[in-house]
Structure 1
């Protein structure tokens, strides 16, 4: 599975990197509508009440429609742009789940239902429209966020609706607190023993740290990333291993 996902991501990154980044003349976005929905339907552990969220589908759609017509431009700060794309990725992921819920136990169940040529996973479905462009989740993550922003901490913030992924924050990301929010996400994720089990002798890490290892090591070694956020410190001699990934839906 690990090697399959790596191949899929490399392929989608190659195609996603060719996607022109959407833009508009809009002012920076107010994410308060998304914030309200998250506070209402996501608990402090990042688990989502999808049944209740579905009742607010129209409110979610209003927020997504606003994102669709308000793509970032170069007048926005880097923090405003990155905040937009993180919130967009997570909100559109919620839409994808709700469009297929109930009846799924994992986001990957959606992929098994897809009968579209050249579309093999839920991350390849072009159900997103931003700035007049049809996009998929891979376009946002690989073609825009990873390509444009040198920020490995996004891997602690982007959510794939699975129990092994980082928790969905129950507040929107906002530009003026983005750095602190990303640090908090990293700290919570690294110290969650269901996702990273760390002792001074052995660190069994999330596969995210392996799949996206190159993003992290461009800035510093994995050991240093762990020590930056973990309450238990390791050394270069600590044995590193990686957990199996639990794709079960992060519902409650």
Structure 2
């Protein structure tokens, strides 16, 4: 009986020891995991270099930059197009008159009056349109110049056709005083357009833009004046007329020039003398004391 009790005690001790041992072994991994988690939490992340490294763009980045550049270019082009669209249009459309003079006036200014007469209706329709669309205060100076010079030249051709055939405009009684053309609420003549309107605009070059249907006049331009081009057109006509040896003979010390420079001397002296004006356009520079004469005016029809 003693031995039996002893055995039971020994077995109980062993079991108790084993149970405790099992418990200790079981708790060890939990402790290790907690320590690892704490170590991870407290551990500092490695420092990263903050310097910018110049590395090549990826294909996607390059494509994005190219798209952005194209968008900027498109924006600039769009802005230019908008500016062009918003640019003021010609106050009056002189196309029909331009088509006629291109067809019936040579580059030298010789006029095919027979051709004009075959299309007289087109010319009269243009003059009628002028009368229905007179300049307003909102028109630019260039629009007004183009309007009145085209009007003068178209009416001069119309005057010749009313009396055609003839050898000279002077064969017509009071040619510059005839009031055939209604513009707005009144009838105009060539004198009024030239002296009361065009000359008062203060640009002497108009004398090279309007044509009196005569050989000694500045040649009739074979295109319509337009607001966009009128300044360039008048400059070209001034240079052409001054250096035209059939209408002016110019040397450094002697000039024989058109009567136009005598009849309208006041217009050519607004910024100096007549010679100063001539020197702006002459291929030959003229001395200020050059001898001066005026050519006889040839009133023969410019055909």
TM score, norm. by length of structure 2 = 0.69
SS in 2 for 1:134: strand
Query: d(CA) in 1 for partners of 2:207 and 2:196?
Result: 15
Q: 1:170 deviation in Å?
A: 0.3
Match of 1:87 in 2: 150
- Which of the pair has more CA radius of gyration? 2
* Matched residues, number: 214
Shift of residue 201, structure 1, vs aligned partner: 2.1
1:98 matches 2:197 = no
Stretches (4+) displaced over 4 A: none
Residues 69-95 of structure 1, C-alpha deviations (whole Å, 9 max, x = no match): 111000111110111001000000000
* Candidates 172, 175, 182, aligned match of 1:129: 182
> What is the CA distance between 1:220 and its match in structure 2?
2.3
Alignment of 1:118-197 (within 5 A): 121-147=174-200, 149-197=201-249
SS, match of residue 262 in structure 2: helix
Alpha-carbon distance in structure 2 between the residues aligned to 1:180 and 1:64: 24
Structure having greater relative contact order (Cα 8 Å, sep ≥ 6): 1
Structure-1-length-normalised TM-score: 0.83
Structure 2 unaligned spans of 5+: 1-89
CA–CA distance in 2 between the matches of 1:226 and 1:161?
Answer: 23
1:110 corresponding residue in structure 2: 172
Q: Which has the higher helix share?
A: 2
RMSD: 0.9
Structure 1 gap ranges (5+): 1-26, 112-120
Note if 1:201 corresponds to 2:253. Answer: yes
